[in-house]
Amino acid sequence: MEQQNSLMGTESQPAVPATSDEKTMALLAHVLTFVAWLIPPLVIYLIKKDESPFVREHAKESMNFQITIAIVCIVLVITVVGILLLWVVGIASLILRIVATIKASEGKMYRYPLTLRLIK
């Protein structure tokens, strides 16, 4: 069962319920981006991709979101006037990462809204 909410993303139940360790790793894939941008979800993805579909999907989603935010920020800086909108992107990014972290801790799958899915 999938619930749609275009502003806050999409959540769904995983095929197999996540264990406590899987929830923790998925949560870390989102939370650690506050301090180290793309490195934590990449490391988690590389370590856990073959062990846990739940963790793999959260790590991929986190990486895709971080890459999308970086692209948006670069475009805004290039347009010069867009520099004034960087704060909006920052606040939206903060809120969405918090939502993703909560969904991961609840054992739910989560997809960020308006995110380029570059890593499949």
Amino acid at 73: C
pLDDT of residue 70: 96
- Asked if the model's pLDDT at residue 47 lies above 70, the reply is yes
Q: Is residue 118 assigned to a domain?
A: no
pTM over 0.85: yes
Average pLDDT over residues 53-80: 95
**Is 116 inside any structural domain?**
no
Amino acid at 120: K
Residue (of 120, 104, 118, 112) closest to 28 by Cα position: 104
Domain that holds residue 47: 2-110
Is 62 in contact with 33 (CB distance < 8 Å)?
A: yes
Q: Pick 83 or 69 by higher pLDDT.
A: 69
Res. 3: pLDDT tops 70: no
Q: How many domains does the chain have?
A: 1
115: in domain: no
- Is 119 contained in some domain? no
Mean pLDDT for 94-114 is 95
**What span, in angstroms and rounded, lies between the C-alpha atoms of 47 and 114?**
27
Domain annotation covers residue 100: yes
